[in-house]
């Protein structure tokens, strides 16, 4: 008897066990993808900022207007056992333009490891972001499950997040975006529970309001653009309450009480934001580090932002080797992606349209759609009306990325077991044809008449996209010092000096990327560097400083001017007229000095 009861209990628990095992599978797949080739790609400027500040160091230890060695340039990357959390926060307030929470966490993380070399290990610095990216998989599972009361929606959301090329791109950088995504997901869970309460004439729980305020405060301490998530949530709630009031679906007493509680959330967010502004603005916010997001004044400025956003939306779901050096692969990849999204967009639209027919899904789907539209509108509004083109930064779309994943997931879940008779007729018509057009129609009909097959296809395209990111054929790094070093190594016949003009820590990071790659490869170890400071582009002072420093160095010498924003006038030096390959992030010119 006891044996039978135990067996029955095991049978009853089996669905829950399978559910957790399946979620574990998505976590394992996502973890493998995020840690694969984690250190292969060289760090870029923003990552150097994370490394230096998290160590409790600063960039001022790098001398300007004088020739320095690789070791001197990489001095800020040395471990600093005396640094404290106070030092990290102080440096960020003085020299950077980001809140300190992520940097403090990385500072504590680094202290867990014994130094393995002279400089900080790139894996140690990138691994927190990768781990947080893995946590986003179960987090988005709960967002989908709680919002739609469906394990299927949760699992499809987790599966898509596990292989999202955009998610893996962010997870493999030593930056704070994966932590920000976790807070976006947490805030969206509170947001979706709240709008469900509003729709069903229930009072939003007080404990949820307190948790929501706490999450929003932490989110703003990770990235200021988290505020765009909060604004989008606020716009959505106002719009949905208005719609419910127009349709007379809500009890006015509940509406007023819920509005008061939503106002508490708003006041909490504003208080956190004002606190940070009061701390940061008097310090000279950003020190000119955000000038790159100012638009260029030409006709492309008016038409490029929507296309820049489109270039972010596509890799949230899939990506192929569109940045390959082989033109044929680029064309084929673009064509396959185009055909895939020509099918996917109407299919998702069909799923959303079907979901809006269900009373339990209507309000959450509508809320997600309005939230995403609000966020995109804020991006375009800031770009066009404030003159700050934030659409140029693909990583900033973290503010609505989880909502896109869940919206696609719920549309796929709704069509999971919905056969379409009309498409089966098309499939039968082209069953034995070898004509390419007929084969495409057959595949198209298969995708539309089998919901499970459609989910597998979307997931597989996401997986291909994740591999594309891992092999650096999509979402390539902004700076590729490894390629520049290969060119210098194959060309140089004399001692090398690499020089650049300096205006902020951005240029220091650009040059540190070259030095770190040289140190990692153990090549050209006698290479010298010169950072010539300038207050404005094309300044004659930078030209004269370069000339004076070069005259102090024994010749023969090769001068490689990299991202040098001033005229170059070097006596006894001849410019190399050959056409060198283009390298991401580095405009360069070679001078031979005899």
pLDDT, tens digit only, all 594 positions of the chain? 545 554 556 555 667 788 899 999 999 999 999 999 999 989 988 899 999 999 999 888 899 989 999 999 999 999 988 889 999 988 888 887 788 899 999 999 998 987 767 788 899 999 999 999 999 999 999 999 999 999 999 999 999 999 999 999 999 999 999 999 999 999 999 999 998 888 888 888 899 999 999 999 999 999 989 999 999 999 998 888 877 766 655 556 667 777 888 888 888 888 877 777 676 655 554 455 555 555 555 666 778 888 889 999 999 999 999 988 889 999 999 999 999 999 999 999 999 999 998 888 988 999 999 999 999 999 999 888 887 888 888 899 999 999 999 999 999 999 987 654 444 544 555 455 545 555 666 666 666 777 888 999 999 999 999 999 999 898 888 888 989 999 998 888 888 899 999 888 888 999 999 999 898 887 788 889 999 988 777 778 888 888 888 888 888 888 899 999 888 888 778 888 888 888 888 999 999 887
**How far from 285 is each of 41, 226, 277, CA to CA, in Å?**
30, 17, 9
As a whole number of Å, the CA-based R_g of the chain is 27
pLDDT at 421: 42
Q: Under a CB-based contact definition with an 8 Å cutoff, are residues 290 and 387 in contact?
A: no
Q: Report which secondary-structure segment, H or E, holds 548.
A: helix 540-551
**How far from 267 is each of 129, 223, 274, CA to CA, in Å?**
30, 18, 10
**How far apart are the C-alpha atoms of 141 and 150, rounded to whole Å?**
10
Q: Could you say which DSSP state residue 398 is in?
A: G
**Strand ranges, E, within 503-549:** 528-533
**How far apart are the C-alpha atoms of 501 and 542, rounded to whole Å?**
7
**How far apart are the C-alpha atoms of 414 and 65, rounded to whole Å?**
63
Give the predicted TM-score (pTM) of the model. Answer: 0.91
**How far apart are the C-alpha atoms of 198 and 193, rounded to whole Å?**
9
* Number of residues assigned to the chain: 594
Q: Between helices 300-317 and 451-470, what is the axis angle to 10°?
A: 110
């Amino acid at each position: 008897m006891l044996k039978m009861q135990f067996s029955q209990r095991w049978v009853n628990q089996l669905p829950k066990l399978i559910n957790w095992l399946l979620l574990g599978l998505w976590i394992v797949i996502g973890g493998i993808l995020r840690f694969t080739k984690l250190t292969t790609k060289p760090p870029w400027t923003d990552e150097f900022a994370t490394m230096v500040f998290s160590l409790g160091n600063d960039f001022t230890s790098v001398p300007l207007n004088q020739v320095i060695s690789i070791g001197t340039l990489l001095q800020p990357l040395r471990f600093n056992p005396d640094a404290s959390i106070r030092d990290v926060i102080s440096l960020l307030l003085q020299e950077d333009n980001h809140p300190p929470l992520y940097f403090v966490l990385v500072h504590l993380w680094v202290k867990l490891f014994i130094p393995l070399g002279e400089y900080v290990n790139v894996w140690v610095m990138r691994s927190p972001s990768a781990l947080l990216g893995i946590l986003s998989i179960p987090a988005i599972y709960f967002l989908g499950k709680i919002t739609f009361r469906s394990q299927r929606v949760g699992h499809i959301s987790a599966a898509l997040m596990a292989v999202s090329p955009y998610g893996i791109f962010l997870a493999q950088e030593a930056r704070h975006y994966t932590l920000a995504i976790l807070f976006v997901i947490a805030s969206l869970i509170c947001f979706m529970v709240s709008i469900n309460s509003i729709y069903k004439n229930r009072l939003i729980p007080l404990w949820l309001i307190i948790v929501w305020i706490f999450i929003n405060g932490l989110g703003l301490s990770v990235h200021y653009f988290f505020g765009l998530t909060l604004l989008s949530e606020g716009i959505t709630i106002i719009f949905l309450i208005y719609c419910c009031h127009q349709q007379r679906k809500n009890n006015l007493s509940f509406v007023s009480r819920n509005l008061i509680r939503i106002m508490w959330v708003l006041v909490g967010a504003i208080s956190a934001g004002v606190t940070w502004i009061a701390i940061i603005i008097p310090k000279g916010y950003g020190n000119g580090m955000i000038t790159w997001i100012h638009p260029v004044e030409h006709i492309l400025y008016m038409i490029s932002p929507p296309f820049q956003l489109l270039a972010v939306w596509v890799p949230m779901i899939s990506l192929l080797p569109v940045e390959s050096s082989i033109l044929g692969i680029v064309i084929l990849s673009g064509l396959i992606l185009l055909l895939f999204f020509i099918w996917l967009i109407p299919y998702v639209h069909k799923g959303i349209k079907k979901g809006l027919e269900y009373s339990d899904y209507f309000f959450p789907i509508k809320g997600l759609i309005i939230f995403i539209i609000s966020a995109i509108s804020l991006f375009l509004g800031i770009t066009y009306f404030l003159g700050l083109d934030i659409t140029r930064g693909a990583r900033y779309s973290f503010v609505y990325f989880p909502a896109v994943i869940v919206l696609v997931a719920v549309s796929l879940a709704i069509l999971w077991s919905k056969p379409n008779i009309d498409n089966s007729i098309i499939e039968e018509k082209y069953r034995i044809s070898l004509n390419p057009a007929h084969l495409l129609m057959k595949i198209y009909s298969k995708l539309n008449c089998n919901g499970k097959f459609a989910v597998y296809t979307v997931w597989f395209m996401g997986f291909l996209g994740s591999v594309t990111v891992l092999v650096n054929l999509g979402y390539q790094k902004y700076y590729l010092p490894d390629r520049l070093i290969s060119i210098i190594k194959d060309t140089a016949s004399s001692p090398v000096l690499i020089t650049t003009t300096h205006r902020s820590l951005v240029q220091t990071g650009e040059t540190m990327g070259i030095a770190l790659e040289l140190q990692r490869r153990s090549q050209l170890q006698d290479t010298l560097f010169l950072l010539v400071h300038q207050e404005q582009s094309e300044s004659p002072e930078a030209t004269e400083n370069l000339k004076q420093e070069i005259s102090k160095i024994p010749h023969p010498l090769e001068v490689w001017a990299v991202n040098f924003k001033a005229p170059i006038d070097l006596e006894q030096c001849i410019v190399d007229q050959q056409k060198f390959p283009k390298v991401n992030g580095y405009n360069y010119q070679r001078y031979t000095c005899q």
